[in-house]
Amino acid sequence: MNGRDRNEDLFFSYSRKKISMSSSRLGLRLAACLLNISEARTKHIVENIANAALGRNGQKHPEVSVLNIFSDQDYNRSVITIVASVDELGNSVLAACLEAFQSIDMQVQEGIHPCLGAVDLIPIYPLTDVGVEECGAVARSLAENLVLHIPGCSVFLFGEADLPEKRPLVQRRKQLGWFTRRDFSALEPDLGAAPTRRCGLTGSVSVFKLDNRILRYP
């Protein structure tokens, strides 16, 4: 496989499915989620998860867009970039997570990237007129909804969502044995029951502000 083919395989643009935004909506208070899921090799599963973020019952939400999807076959991991109004982002990401937990089984997942959960990380980034504290509240509310709606879902918190300690991801990874552990039963989540083999453990967080030149809302 040459470099071009590999790049096309690892990254498939979602630009055709973006929700167009009129100039009257450019004043929205925006936040982003770089949703990390433990699946890349079955393309339709990844796309279904991205579609779930966009809306319900076939109706696209006007304040939500999936900017792109980056998938790595060796890692068997995808990052779905979701941008939305800060008031809608939590609902959008929750819908994507519900689809992911239904579709990804950590009992059979294989890949060279260390991971703990079907939905591995849920970082929330402030973009426009939104502070990190507000994103922390979104992340924590999302974590609470995940364990409420998904049996077997377990969550650990870090960054602005981890109050009052605000422990960084590096510290939490060491505490959880991220790079060596596949025995989920001994993990102690911050929210939810003991992790199950199917769902694993999900990280929910809000982090530093991204450069708007890198993540632009269409």
pLDDT band at 88 (very low <50, low <70, confident <90, very high): very high
Please check whether residue 170 lies inside any domain of the structure.
Answer: yes
Q: What is the pLDDT of residue 197?
A: 65
Residue 81 pLDDT exceeds 90: yes
Please check whether residue 194 lies inside any domain of the structure.
Answer: yes
* 20 CB-near residues (< 8 Å, 6+ apart): 218
pTM greater than 0.75 (yes/no): yes
Please check whether residue 167 lies inside any domain of the structure.
Answer: yes
Angle at 124 between CA 119 and CA 130, to 5 degrees: 160
Contact 121/155 with Cβ under 8 angstroms?
A: no
Please check whether residue 217 lies inside any domain of the structure.
Answer: no
List the one residue out of 84, 2, 10 whose CA is nearest residue 40: 10
Q: What is the pLDDT of residues 107-131, one digit of tens each?
A: 777 877 777 778 888 999 898 888 8
Q: What is the pLDDT of residue 121?
A: 87
Q: In which domain, by residue range, is 54 found?
A: 3-13+29-205
Q: What is the pLDDT of residues 127-178, one digit of tens each?
A: 888 888 899 899 999 999 998 988 778 888 888 888 888 888 888 878 877 6
Please check whether residue 199 lies inside any domain of the structure.
Answer: yes
Q: What is the pLDDT of residues 11-40, one digit of tens each?
A: 333 332 333 343 234 578 899 999 999 899
Quote the number of domains for the chain: 1
Please check whether residue 140 lies inside any domain of the structure.
Answer: yes
What CATH number corresponds to the domain at position 34? 3.30.990.10
